[in-house]
Amino acid sequence: MQNPIIDLKGGTILITGAGQGVGRSVALKAAVNGAGNVVVNDFVLERAEAVAEEVRAAGCSAMALQADVSDHHSVREMFDQVRKEVGGVDVLVNNAGNSGTSDVYALRAVPFWEQDASHWQPFLGVNLFGVLHTCREAIPDMRDRGAGRIVNVISDAGRVGDVTLEVYSGAKAGVAGFTRAIARAVGRFGITANCVSLAVMKTPTLEKKLADPEVYKKMMASYILRRPGEPEDAANMILMLGSDASAWVTGQTYPVNGGFSLAL
């Protein structure tokens, strides 16, 4: 459904990690809010292709591109393909992220000072370096056009800290600091850069955990609104920051978290 305050004005929006969840919601909402082209990136090509097909069904042009955002060469190839087919990116949404290794819940039980340093790379590679890689490729085109929007999705773990995910928290906090710095660096080119900070979002894995009423009650007790976030909750804020509705907003971090943590 068209949002009356969001208009992407025919621009090209690239969303990383858009094969599911929040990224998918951003892609679908962009399709009906004025995007000219939606570039759906995911580490798994089949997921990206499925979402791109949904975008086309909504009446918008779409590209599905596989790239590992933790690999700068892979990111550069993706941006080269976008430039070749539709020109540069007008709106970059860095949504790709992870909580580390596949055995992250086992790792949570290990104190930071007992962890093997090799376990930290998945946190840093996607959550921090992934943002650096995509911004490095997107900014020159935005600078040349004299306009651009960068929206980096972080976590409240980066704002308040998670005692069981210290390196993940550090990576997300690093993105917030980078965003403030890059906003200062590129503002003179008409480019804005902001963060959206999320708390617990509804995912298939989470829904299984929350099927237990006691688990649900305990987890949601920390949330003023007493529910997990829906992908659409995040997508609305992300696209507002990606549009001219927020043309004079930059270097900021906006929590979309149901009141898990508060900001002045």
What pLDDT digit, counting tens, does each position of 224-234 carry?
A: 999 999 999 99
Q: Please, are residues 99 and 111 in contact by the beta-carbon 8 Å criterion?
A: no
Residues whose CB is less than 8 angstroms from the CB of residue 251 and which lie 6 or more positions away in sequence, other chains included: 179, 180, 183, 184, 187, 193, 194
CA dihedral 34, 142, 231, 261 (to 10 degrees): -130
Confidence (pTM): 0.94
Q: Whose CA is closest to 91, among 255, 236, 254, 241?
A: 241
pLDDT, residue 106, reads 57
pLDDT, residue 231, reads 95
Q: Would you say how long the chain is, in residues?
A: 264
pLDDT, residue 179, reads 98
Q: Which CATH class is domain 12-202+231-256?
A: alpha beta
pLDDT, residue 162, reads 86
Q: Please, are residues 62 and 79 in contact by the beta-carbon 8 Å criterion?
A: no
**Low-confidence residues in the chain, pLDDT < 70:** 100-108, 204-205
Which residue among the candidates 168, 216, 223, 254 is catalytic per the annotation? 168
pLDDT, residue 187, reads 98
**Where exactly are the structural domains of the chain?**
12-202+231-256
Does residue 168 carry a catalytic annotation? yes
